[in-house]
Structure 1
Amino acid sequence: MSFSSSSLILHPSSFIKSLWKFSRPHTIIGTSLSVLALYFIALGTTNIPISPSNIKQMLAVWIACLCGNIYIVGLNQLTDVEIDRINKPHLPVASGAFTIKQGWGIVAVMGLIAIAISAFSGTWLLATVAVSLIIGTAYSLPPIRLKQFPFFAAFCILTVRGIVVNLGLFLHYSQRFQGQEVINADVWLLTLFILLFTIAIAIFKDVPDLEGDKKYNIATFSLILGKTRVFQITCGVIAICYLGMIAAGIIGLDGINSSFFVIYHLVLLSLLLWRSEDVNLEEKNAIASFYQFIWKLFFLEYILFPLACFV
């Protein structure tokens, strides 16, 4: 069922459910956690207490980033309708729950809201959102459509998730809370971790989508290297991320509880090794489940890292 104005009034819950799917929930959760994590790290490293004023700042960042997130993932769906009908037929545009026109309307509104809120909130937030939207547009929209090229597709994802969001948002918080743009060692460490981790997400994300990508000539690392090799690289990169954090914790970090930091990374590394042992790469559901597991590890880092700054 596609939504007209009357059906939206009669079936608001169905519309909201479709909008939630359109927003790609795992990316919404990741964006939300990154906004919150950097907020708490900024407060923790400057010994600034939580207050209505800085909560208001955080909420503005959160709404702007959520709208930007929906713009990017929505645009990707609108330019991949035929591919998604094979790879992800449950998505609202591919399934017909949203028409193409409705999808474009949502994307346009979200993009405008993201730019408007960030423009009124601060230069660094505006820069973060604007750069993210530009890269997201270049990733999906012809004639550039960087997602056609494995290297550039991965580069887009890791640049936004790994560099632009972490550094841009922390600079925004730093400027708003302290009146100066300062990036401390903790944020550089988190940025390096997320950058490498995002590489793993970027190269593994297309493994469940081989059928549609192959039919429509979308070159991916999965098609070039094969599922097994991509799986091995993904697990290897994430393991290196955790080993690096464990080493950093052993060496010692100012403002971070080293014991807690080392222990939780050891636990997450153990979970990765355990979970990777029984993945059947011949079953699409098993591959998709492991992909979601990777995202859960990503979420946990944004929860536990700021916690290590406080305990």
Structure 2
Amino acid sequence: MFIQGLPEEKGTAFSTYQMIEEQRERIERSRPLVIEQIEVTEQRRRGKIPLAIRSLSSKMKRNPMKRSSKMKIDNNHKLLWNLERTGRRSSVDILNKNSAEYHLNQPQQRPRLYLRSSRTYLVNAYLQPPLESQPGAKYKTNNPWNSIKNAADTFYQFSRPHTVKGTVFSIISVSLLAVEKMSDLNPLFFTKLLQAVIAALLMNTYVVGLNQLTDIDIDKVNKPYLPLASGEYSVGTGVMIVTSSLTMSFWLGWVVGSWPLFVALFVHFVLGTAYSINLPVLRWKRSPVAAAMCILIVRALSNPTTYFLNMQIQVYERPVVFPRSLILATAVMTFFSIVIALFKDIPDIDGDKIFGIQSFTVRMGQKWVFWICISLLEMAYVVAILVGSISPCLWNKVITVLGHSVLATTLWARAKSLDLKSKAAITYRT
């Protein structure tokens, strides 16, 4: 995309964008008067001069501000014509398609401005690589490794990295709770752990992919960088990934032959589908209470219990028991799951308002929901500190109390310094 003859202002992409925006706003403000002048010219050509002049002059008397604007009509009209003729308006449309904050803050996608030293104008300014809001936006190259890297990065964004990391860490943590001695860390343990992680990640891809398929319009406002919202994935590609992930997840859970693992996958499938899919009685994400219950049941109740029992029964062939460590993990995850259910809507308030999603953030405001989440997290740390303080093992007591005290203090300090008005500050992407 080339923009010829734009005057150089501060030599940055953002100043160029601001200049184009100011020109566009001036043109839009004068557009009604430009149209009115065209109508007057047409009436003059048809011999209806008196009526047209009276109509225009009466409007100017009622609104004196239009008198000065009328003197600028010709210049604005010429500017509008020149912008449309040279194709610069297409650049404005592209820049407006997604928020400037997203596009101009990506280091690998910032426009590179090439200057010609003999002139004081930006002669050849083009975007490299193209903006992600355009279909096929990834920078095309003949290098196959770059193509593979771009494809992997797109799928990584589609799978929602924060959910991938949360799933992996939670399964590993609760699986280790079943280990009683070092000899329990045998090859069978790691094999069953890997099977459980892969099956859970496939089911997670189905759930987050289905949510993106049903929220394409909302994500164009809230998360324009997602593959479906940006056009990097078509709807057909999204359906194929979601369907294949669901099939492979259930197949792996069936082949492994672990009923706790299969129960975990089935619960995640049912609640994940009910959360997103737009059918009668379903799409529970429209209700803040139902949405919170879905996340609470999966993250705090189903996952810790079933993946612990998967190791307890399948690997060690022990009876079903619920140790104190599992109860503590479930209690802490209950706090975290409620926070996840509330906090996930804080950066999405704009799109939720437009499409009628009555989340707690829409009803109560970002600031109230944010500090409720921080308070719940601090309560979780206090519970962990109290439980750790009564541990009979000295090292467990020291590590639990000291570690959670540091985490609670760090959380409070970071929360006090956070700017809620900055969407980038409250959005987690990687």
TM-score range, shorter chain: 0.7 to 0.9
1:277 to 416, 419, 422: 416
Alignment correspondent of 1:32: 168
How many angstroms does 1:253 deviate by?
Answer: 5.9
Amino acid at match of 2:406: V
Alignment correspondent of 1:217: 356
2:246 to 101, 106, 111: 111
> Map of 1:134-213 to 2, 5 A cutoff?
134-143=270-279, 144-179=282-317, 180-213=319-352
How many angstroms does 1:204 deviate by?
Answer: 1.1
Alignment correspondent of 1:287: 426
> Map of 1:224-239 to 2, 5 A cutoff?
224-239=363-378
Alignment correspondent of 1:265: 404
> Residues 233 and 213 from structure 1, CA distance in 2 versus in 1: closer, same or farther, beyond 3 angstroms?
same
Alignment correspondent of 1:97: 232
The 2-side partners of 1:2 and 1:115 are apart by 32
Alignment correspondent of 1:124: 260
How many angstroms does 1:281 deviate by?
Answer: 1.7
The 1-side partners of 2:225 and 2:148 are apart by 19
How many angstroms does 1:55 deviate by?
Answer: 1.1
How many angstroms does 1:279 deviate by?
Answer: 1.5
Unaligned runs of 5+ in 2: 1-134
User: Are the equivalent residues in 1 in contact too, given 2:389–2:401 (CA < 8 A)?
Assistant: yes
Larger radius of gyration, structure 1 or 2?
2
User: Are the equivalent residues in 1 in contact too, given 2:210–2:242 (CA < 8 A)?
Assistant: yes
1:73 aligns with 2:208: yes
> Residues 256 and 26 from structure 1, CA distance in 2 versus in 1: closer, same or farther, beyond 3 angstroms?
farther
1:241 aligns with 2:380: yes
User: Are the equivalent residues in 2 in contact too, given 1:162–1:195 (CA < 8 A)?
Assistant: yes
User: Are the equivalent residues in 2 in contact too, given 1:172–1:181 (CA < 8 A)?
Assistant: no
4+ residue runs over 4 A deviation? 253-256
Count of residues in correspondence between the two structures: 286
User: Are the equivalent residues in 2 in contact too, given 1:158–1:199 (CA < 8 A)?
Assistant: yes
Instruction: List per-residue Cα deviations over 1:112-151 (Å, max 9, x = no partner).
Output: 1111111122111000011111100000001110000000
User: Are the equivalent residues in 1 in contact too, given 2:250–2:265 (CA < 8 A)?
Assistant: yes
Give the percent of matched residue pairs that are identical in Structure 1 and Structure 2.
33
The 1-side partners of 2:415 and 2:227 are apart by 31
> Residues 246 and 282 from structure 1, CA distance in 2 versus in 1: closer, same or farther, beyond 3 angstroms?
same
Alignment correspondent of 1:63: 198
The 2-side partners of 1:58 and 1:279 are apart by 37
Alignment correspondent of 2:177: 41
The 2-side partners of 1:80 and 1:266 are apart by 39
Instruction: List per-residue Cα deviations over 1:9-68 (Å, max 9, x = no partner).
Output: 95332211110000000110110111211222212x365432222211111001000101
User: Are the equivalent residues in 2 in contact too, given 1:75–1:141 (CA < 8 A)?
Assistant: yes
The 1-side partners of 2:252 and 2:181 are apart by 25
> Residues 255 and 81 from structure 1, CA distance in 2 versus in 1: closer, same or farther, beyond 3 angstroms?
farther
The 2-side partners of 1:168 and 1:76 are apart by 24
The 2-side partners of 1:253 and 1:240 are apart by 23
What TM-score, normalized to structure 1?
0.87
Q: Specify which structure has the bigger relative contact order, considering alpha-carbon pairs within 8 angstroms and separated by 6 or more residues.
A: 1
How many angstroms does 1:234 deviate by?
Answer: 0.4
Instruction: List per-residue Cα deviations over 1:260-287 (Å, max 9, x = no partner).
Output: 1111000100111110111222221222
How many angstroms does 1:255 deviate by?
Answer: 10
User: Are the equivalent residues in 1 in contact too, given 2:188–2:315 (CA < 8 A)?
Assistant: no
Alignment correspondent of 1:23: 159
Amino acid at match of 1:86: V
> Residues 252 and 148 from structure 1, CA distance in 2 versus in 1: closer, same or farther, beyond 3 angstroms?
same
More helix by share: 1
Alignment correspondent of 2:87: none
How many angstroms does 1:205 deviate by?
Answer: 0.9
Q: Secondary structure at the match of 1:137?
A: helix
The 2-side partners of 1:157 and 1:204 are apart by 12
Q: Secondary structure at the match of 1:273?
A: helix
Instruction: List per-residue Cα deviations over 1:84-110 (Å, max 9, x = no partner).
Output: 000000000000110001001001111
CA RMSD, Structure 1 to Structure 2 (Å): 2.0
User: Are the equivalent residues in 1 in contact too, given 2:192–2:315 (CA < 8 A)?
Assistant: no
1:85 aligns with 2:220: yes
What TM-score, normalized to structure 2?
0.64
Instruction: List per-residue Cα deviations over 1:135-177 (Å, max 9, x = no partner).
Output: 0000000111000000011111111111111111001111012
How many angstroms does 1:81 deviate by?
Answer: 0.1
Q: Secondary structure at the match of 1:208?
A: coil
